[in-house]
Amino acid sequence: MPIRFRAGAASDVGAFRTSNQDAAFTAPWGAAVADGVGGGPSGDLASAALLRRFADGAVGIPDERRLLERIRAANGDLRGHVRRDPSLQGMATTLTGAFVSLHGTVLLAHTGDSRAYLLRGGTLTRETRDDSYVQVLVERGLLTPEDAAQHPRRNLITSSLGGGDADLVSVRERDALTGDRWLLCSDGLSDYLPDTELAAILAGIRSPSGAAEAAVSLALEAGSRDNVTAVVADLVEAWDASDPHPIFFGSAAAPLDVIDALESA
């Protein structure tokens, strides 16, 4: 029997930011999180425009080729924004998404430091590698993972989407089991909640929306100084005809015409 996602999400601007540069969407065929790159212009426009252009009108992602085509098209839209307004040069966003293929697998797309975790059989595993300066230091043995979480340059990323032809996104195919629970989140969550707390939330709260909301609330209570976004997506048998249209969160929740208006704001 085919599978689909039953997903929920939550996004909060946080106590220390004036705008939400995180964006997310959920749909039966996939879900994603994008986070505007800090220090660049219009991070809220970058994350929102990327996800809206990627997901609007989509009713499924059949295979890796079509997934990459949609990502490239959405990234090209960012380039169009910069051409119309050169002051946006340098705007960029992370992207982490999970999508159910027609082959019954999960396609995991990733660039930047937003993360994907998988809870399977009660065990939580991190499924993405941060494209970041501190991750390189950790891999070279120059920094411990614990110190990396507190490093002043932990938000310096080495890969993102900003409309460039050379922008890179990794895509991996994962086996899919009914009962798998995916967590996609921005670094405003993963920087402040250890894996043990994430596992407890995901294992202890049955509702995807409830789990996402609880994770965001706990990150804020832990003192997150960033926007905080979580998507929780459960793999279930596709026994009903779910509405394939995406639901948007964070900066992507605004209509497309409003998002386009951000370009001149």
pLDDT at 2: 86
pLDDT at 38: 75
55: enclosing H helix or E strand: helix 43-55
Domain at 3-12+19-264: CATH code: 3.60.40.10
Sheet architecture: strand order including 30-35: 170-174, 106-111, 95-100, 30-35, 22-27, 247-250
DSSP-assigned letter for residue 178: T
pLDDT at 238: 77
Question: Residue 174: CB partners within 8 Å, gap ≥ 6?
Answer: 105, 106, 107, 108, 118, 127
Distance CA 21, CA 229 (A): 10
pLDDT at 261: 62
Average pLDDT by stretches of 10, the chain with 265 residues: 92 95 97 88 91 93 96 95 91 97 96 97 96 78 73 80 95 97 97 96 98 98 96 88 87 76 56
Question: In the chain, where are the structural domains located?
Answer: 3-12+19-264
168: amino acid identity, one letter: L
As given in the structure block, the two tokens for residue 28 are 């039966």
pLDDT at 77: 93
